Amino acid sequence: MAQWLEHVPDKNGVEGSIPSTPTMDSYIIIFFLVGILQDLLATLNVRFIALHKIWPATVSSFLTIVVAMLVLYNILGDLDSQRSIPAIIAYATGIAVGTFFAMKFKLESKK
Residue 5: pLDDT band (50, 70, 90) is: very low
Residues 6+ apart with CB under 8 A from 49: 57
Q: Roughly how many angstroms between the first and final C-alpha of the chain, as a whole number?
A: 73
Check residue 73 and give its pLDDT. Answer: 87
Residue 62: pLDDT band (50, 70, 90) is: very high
Domain ranges of the chain: 27-104
d(CA 15, CA 3): 26
Provide the whole-model pTM: 0.68
pLDDT tens readout for residues 77-103: 877 777 788 888 999 999 999 888 877
* Cα of 46 vs its chain's centroid, Å: 20
